[in-house]
Amino acid sequence: MQVNETSRREALQKIGLFAAALCVLPLTSCSDTEKKQEVETVTNKAPMPFLIPPKTVLEVGPLGSNMRTLIRSAQTNTQFSCVEAVLAPKKIAGAPHKHDHLDELMYVLEGTASVLMGDEVVEVSAGSWHLRPRGIVHVVWNAGDKNLRLIDMYFNQNFEDYLEEIYHQIIPEVIERKISFEEPGIAKRVAELDKRFGLTYYPEKSQPIIEKYGLS
């Protein structure tokens, strides 16, 4: 499937506007100290300009998903980062979880993302934006019959580093060694990553979603 490059460029232009808005308008969960630090960061260390050139289509990985970093937090003075992700039909992006520090802003390029937000399910169609604030249990899945492609922005944390370690280091090792994520060494690495990035998972919430939407 060929991604509409015009849609991608429009999405990236919109990202800049949303990023500016979220950096200026503090979320209610931020403390006064955090707000002050964010203002000082933006004022004293403005990021340098950069260009994101067009990219080839991101292919689905061996486990039914994939990601690549578009903007690193280091490029924006840790204000935000941005990744592109793809999720195959009938796949769920991990287990329901919540973040202690991270706020996520998603733009759907193709398909429809189903998102658990607390006890509510939200359908986010192509061309739509969805904000997932910190502290709310959530997960994304693809209940459709076509690939789901999206852009995810991360505020307050270099979450692209977490994803790159999972997708580009741990998953390839699991596949190469033909082991599961429950293998003690792998489980320890993932647990350390979760702790470092402030993630709490709720795997018991996965099965009802998998059964209801026919996911694999």
For residue 73, give the CATH number of its domain.
Answer: 2.60.120.10
Mean pLDDT of 133-161: 97
Q: Which residues contact 209 (CB under 8 A, 6 or more apart)?
A: 92, 96, 116, 139, 141, 215
| Residue spans of alpha helices (H) in 53-183 | 159-165, 171-177
Reduced DSSP (H G I as helix, E B as strand, rest coil) percent helix, strand, coil of the chain, to 5: 40, 30, 35
Per the structure, the count of domains in the chain is 1
Mean pLDDT of 22-28: 39
The model's pLDDT over 78-119, given as tens digits with 9 standing for 90+, comes to 899 999 999 999 999 999 999 999 999 999 999 999 999 999
Place 18 in a pLDDT band, splitting at 50, 70 and 90.
very low
The answer to whether the beta carbons of residues 18 and 129 sit under 8 Å apart is yes
Note down the domain range covering 166. Answer: 5-213
CA–CA dist 31, 12 (Å, integer): 29
The pLDDT score that the predictor gives to residue 216 is: 86
Specify the pTM: 0.79
